[in-house]
Structure formats: C-alpha cells, structure tokens
Structure 1
Amino acid sequence: MMYGAIEAGGTKFVCAVSDENLNILERESIKTTVPAETMNLVFKFFDKFKLEAIGVGSFGPIDINKKSKTYGYITNTPKKGWANYDFVGAIKERYNIPVGFTTDVNAAALGELKKGAAVGLDSCVYLTVGTGIGGGAVVNGKLLEGYGHPEMGHILVRKHEADKYEGNCPFHKTCLEGLAAGPAIEARWGKKGYDLADKEEVWEMEAYYIAQGLMTYTLTLSPERIVLGGGVMKQLQLFPLIRKELEKLMAKYVSMPNLDEYIVPPALGDNAGITGCLLLAMETK
C-alpha cells in the first residue's frame, strides 16, 4: 500500500509517497506560486501512484471543522491567490480517496509524537519559530482541533522592560509572533538572527518571549513534551536560556518535568512535517 503526503508551505510544497512502513519511495519539492500552477505540478507528481489516502499539512489559516461549509479550505491567508481555496476539494476531485487535512504544525506535532522526540508519550506541543510562529498539539494521542485549529503564535505576551520594538504582527502588534518571530528579531536588532549568534542580549530577550508562550501552553495543555523547531531555533544556545526563563516564570507553582527533557529540538529535523502528513494519511478513513 502507498500513501501520499503534502506539506504545504507558503514558499514550497513538499510532496512524498511512502509505503505502510513510512519508507519514502519518492519525494519532490514544488515552488508555491498560484493554485493552478502549483497544484498541476502536485497532481503530476501523484498521478504516477495508486494511493490509499493523502495527508495534508497546510499553511493557514485553514478550515478544519468538518461541519463547516468551507471545510478543507485555506481561508483568509495573505498568500496571493490562495485565499478561500478549496484545497481538499481539489484533491478529491482528482483522486477519489480519503484526504486527511490539518495545519503544517499539527502535522509536525504528530510526526514528532509518533516517530520523533516525543515517541512513547501521549501528548506534545510542536512550536515552530521562524518567519512566523505557529504551534500544533497532540493531546491523548489525537490532534488538537475544535471549531478551528490552534494559533499559538498569536497569544499576548508581556514586553521585556528593555524592549523598545513595537511589534510587527499586523493583527496584534505585540503578540508572541509579533515580538519573537524572525522578522521581529531583524527589525529590532538590524540584522538577521544568524548574524547575531554571539549577541547574548538578543537571545536572552528571545528566550524571555518564547518562555512566556511555553508557560501558557504548559498551564493550559500540560503536554508531556514541547518540541521547538523552525529557523530561529537553529540557534541552539536558545534552549538552555528558554528552560531557565521558564523555570523562573513558573515559580514552582506546579510540578514540572526535567526541563532538559521537556523542551527539546525536533528529532526529525526538517522532516517532522512530511512524516506527520504521511501518518495522517494512514490514519484517515
């Protein structure tokens, strides 16, 4: 049996086909342009295979509520041409097979729980810190979904007392994404994060903001593990700073796991999303 996966990002679509043991048989990266052009290439890739199901982890916002008239749509994204795009409908029109549909970060959370840094656990949060900030969660072995999907990057945080930056989120200004995503780091300090690797003050402030997010997720979801991925988190000096800041913020209010084991990088690296999409395909009926 073969399963398909689409990790749909704003820059590129990663498509893959695997067998039932998650052995990837073929994989291709496709530039994200406009739907007609991108999806034609996606279909050209999958047309070569007889698939049991396809799992999609998409950039958003998306509609994952199966009771909604627009279930399966990318909704009000600023990505040109993709707003109100019937993603699942387009796939089902081409292939009469089940389609699993969730966010890219929910897919990554599933991948890390089943095959990565959270193997053997029942719950985890996956947070990506890069061009934006997004989070997904698996709770009791199931993806966290309700009337919509989590938007963990847009929780409000307290500003650092030394931070004069006004925030760059067009909706909330000083939410976590507005203060801690890659573009915020560059706007605040005048350089990209990888050019600031030796500047302690940059990463101490970054840790201050990310730890606030992790405090909120810890107190509301009680995940067994938090996995931090994305381009910003390739600055590995952030991990001990975040653990230290989270411990300070929690102030021994609740019992915490060993923080070295609780806050970790993705074991699957950049393959967390596509692995989760393949798993989603296998779970979709």
Structure 2
Amino acid sequence: MLVGGIEAGGTKFVCAVGNEKNELLERVAFPTTTPEETLEQVFAFFDRFDLAAIGIGSFGPIDVKKDSETYGHILCTPKLAWKDFDFLGAMKARYAVPMGWTTDVNGAALGESALGAAKGMKNIMYITIGTGVGAGAIVDGKILEGIGHPEMGHILVRPHEHDHYEGFCPYHGNCLEGMAAGPSIDGRLGKAGKDVEPTDAVWDYIAYYIAQALEAYTVILRPERIVLGGGVMKVPGMLDNIKGKFTKLLADYVPVPAVDDYLVLPGLGDDAGITGAIILANEVKA
C-alpha cells in the first residue's frame, strides 16, 4: 500500500511515494513558484499512483488547528503568492485520502526521531539553519503544537560584542533567524555564505547565536537530543564551534548528555523532511 509525502519548502518542493515501512520508493523535486504552477507539478507526480494517504510538511507559518476556519492554510508568509493559500484544501480537492498536515521542520523532527540521528527517542528537537531558521520538537513521541506550531527561529538573541549587524528579520530584527540565517551573511558582508572563508569571524558570531538558542531550548524543552540541519551547519567547524559555546552558556546548570551525543547532525541528511512526510502519511492512513 503506497502513501505520498510532500516536503514543501520555500525554495523547492520534494514529493515522494513510500511504503508501509517508510521507505522512499520514488521522488521528484522542483522549484517553489506560485501555488498554481507548483501544484500542477505535484498533481502530475501523484496522479500516477493509487495512494492510501498523503503527509505534508510545509513552510509556514501555517494553521495547524483542526477546528480553525483556516486550518490547512499557509498564513503570513513572505512568499506573497502563497499568503492565505488553502494548501491542504487544494490537495483534498484533488485526492480523497486521509492527509497529515504539519510544518516542514516538524516533519524533519519526525523523520529523525523515527529513522535518523534520534531514532528511538521520544523527546527530541530538530532545527534547520539555512535561508531561514525553523525548528520542530517531538515531546513524548508526539509533534509539539499549541494554539499553533512553534516558531523557534524567532526567539531574540543577545548580540555578540563585536557584531554590529542589526538583523534582517522584518518582524524582530535581532532574532535567531535575523542574525544567523543565510541572508544575514549577505547583510553583513555583501556576499553569500558559500563565498565566505570558514575562518571568517562572521561564523563565530553565528555559532554564538545558535548556541544561545540551543541553551534556551534545552532549559525549556529538556530534549534527549537536538539535531541540527541546514546549509549553515555544513560550514567546516560550525558544529564544534556551537558545541563549545553551548557548553559554556549552559554552565552545567541542568544535566544533559555528553555534548557530542546531544548536539548532532541529521542522520537522514537532506531526506529528513520528506521521510517525515511519509511517516506522517502512514500514521493517518485509514
């Protein structure tokens, strides 16, 4: 019995078909453009299969409250073509199957807790630091949600003493996303991160902001493990830099596992999100 999964990112969509073992059998990726153009490609892929359910992990913010009039909508996104778009409704109009709906980072957290670097753990967190910053958490085996999903990329951080950048986030300025996501490199230096040497001081600033956030998440959520993904984490030496700063900031206030076991890279690599979408589909299928 086949299920479908969508990792709907702000830059690209990944669609896949998997089985009851959460194995990815076939997949496709394409750029995120307008809802109409993008869904045309989604439908072209899934129309070839007889699916029992579909799981969707979407960029946000999104409405995850099932009793809300806008449940399944993408909300106040900077991708203006998608603002207030009824994503889940459009999918249900095409496919009469059960559908799971959550954020892309929640999907990645689900994937990593089931099959990745946090396999078998019931209390974990996944954070991605790339073009933006997003995070999802699994608490007691379930995706963490309240009146909405967490937006952990927008906690405020204390500026580094040598960093005079004010942040690019139009809502909060010096929040974690505004200070540590990819566009902050261009904002400081006028060039993309791929063109910046790993020894540049800017990476030290970014490690400091990420470490601050991880310290906050640690004392609030008390996860068993935190998985760090996204393009910024591929910078040589970044993970070790974060570990050192995190250890200093936490200051042994609460016990955590050894830092090398606590802060880790994704076990599923770039497949964490789409794997989570397939898992979500298997969870909701009739």
Partners of 2:146 and 2:273 lie apart in 1 by 21
1:73 paired with 2:65, answer no
Match of 2:84 in 1: 84
**Is the 1:34–1:80 contact (alpha carbons within 8 Å) kept by the matching residues of 2?**
no
**Is the 1:133–1:181 contact (alpha carbons within 8 Å) kept by the matching residues of 2?**
yes
**Segments of 4+ moved more than 3 angstroms:** none
Match of 1:30 in 2: 30
Match of 2:109 in 1: 109
Given the superposition, is the C-alpha separation of residues 269 and 77 from structure 1 closer, same or farther in structure 2, using an over 3 Å criterion? same
Structure 2 residue identity aligned to 1:53: A
Partners of 1:156 and 1:29 lie apart in 2 by 33
Partners of 1:236 and 1:101 lie apart in 2 by 34
Partners of 2:230 and 2:214 lie apart in 1 by 15
Partners of 2:156 and 2:80 lie apart in 1 by 27
Match of 1:53 in 2: 53
Structure 2 residue identity aligned to 1:251: A
1:121 paired with 2:112, answer no
Identify unmatched segments of 5+ residues in structure 2: none
1:271 paired with 2:284, answer no
For residue 200 of structure 1, report the CA deviation from its aligned partner. Answer: 4.7
Structure 2 residue identity aligned to 1:25: L
Match of 2:175 in 1: 175
SS of residue paired to 2:7: strand
**Is the 2:198–2:236 contact (alpha carbons within 8 Å) kept by the matching residues of 1?**
no
Match of 1:237 in 2: 237
Partners of 1:95 and 1:52 lie apart in 2 by 10
Partners of 2:100 and 2:46 lie apart in 1 by 16
Partners of 1:186 and 1:105 lie apart in 2 by 24
Q: TM-score, normalised by structure 1?
A: 0.97
Structure 2 residue identity aligned to 1:115: L
For residue 191 of structure 1, report the CA deviation from its aligned partner. Answer: 2.9
For residue 124 of structure 1, report the CA deviation from its aligned partner. Answer: 1.1
1:43 paired with 2:18, answer no
For residue 190 of structure 1, report the CA deviation from its aligned partner. Answer: 3.2
SS of residue paired to 1:73: coil
Partners of 1:86 and 1:210 lie apart in 2 by 33
User: Per-residue displacement from partner, 1:112-155 (whole Å, max 9, x unpaired)?
Assistant: 00000001211111110011111011111100111100101100
Structure 2 residue identity aligned to 1:183: P
For residue 195 of structure 1, report the CA deviation from its aligned partner. Answer: 2.4
Identify unmatched segments of 5+ residues in structure 1: none
For residue 44 of structure 1, report the CA deviation from its aligned partner. Answer: 1.5
**Is the 1:30–1:42 contact (alpha carbons within 8 Å) kept by the matching residues of 2?**
no
**Is the 2:24–2:275 contact (alpha carbons within 8 Å) kept by the matching residues of 1?**
no
**Is the 2:198–2:237 contact (alpha carbons within 8 Å) kept by the matching residues of 1?**
no
SS of residue paired to 1:84: coil
Partners of 1:225 and 1:158 lie apart in 2 by 24
* Identity between Structure 1 and Structure 2 (%): 59
Match of 1:227 in 2: 227
SS of residue paired to 2:51: coil
Structure 2 residue identity aligned to 1:89: G
- After superposition, the CA RMSD in angstroms is 1.1
